[in-house]
Structure 1
Amino acid sequence: MLEYVKTILMKVSFDKKLFEKELRKGLNLLAPSELREFKDWCYKTFAKIYLAVLNKYFVKLA
């Protein structure tokens, strides 16, 4: 499921609202064991453009 969510986020990264919606859905789909890897990947991949969105959803996983 992790690779699926990554693929979706890559495809919708052109639009902030769509990115945020899919990030939220992805967080609900993933197993707790996948969340740490997903968080690291998201920050590495999208921090330059969507840092505020990432901080909004990953603050609970700190």
Structure 2
Amino acid sequence: MITLNYVKVILEKVSFDAKLFEKELKKAIKTLLSDEVSELQAWCYDKFGKIYNQVIEKCFNRLRRKMNVLAQ
């Protein structure tokens, strides 16, 4: 099981490359618990929002759309 702290370390290590960052963020969103995902989202915007705002929005918007489909 992946922990939130581990995900943060990985994202920091791959933050030099937008594609890798997006790939690892998507993977993290799929594997973390929902409360961890919320915490991850806040952390991502705080830590990487200036550089990867569009990537972060894309990944978390995709999650929101999936949640809306499941709720229907």
Report the TM-score, using the length of structure 2 for normalisation. Answer: 0.79
Which residue of structure 1 aligns with residue 70 of structure 2? none
The aligned residue for residue 8 of structure 2 is 6
Could you give the per-residue CA deviations for residues 21-55 of structure 1, whole angstroms, max 9, x where no partner exists? 00011111101121111110000000110000011
Determine what percentage of the aligned residue pairs are the same residue. 52
Misfit runs of 4+, over 6 Å: none
Q: CA deviation at 1:9?
A: 0.1
Q: 5+ unaligned residues in a row in structure 2: which ranges?
A: 68-72
> How many residues are aligned here?
61
Decide which of 45, 48, 58 is 2:47's aligned counterpart.
45
CA RMSD across the alignment: 1.2
Instruction: Answer with 1 or 2: which has the greater Rg.
Output: 2
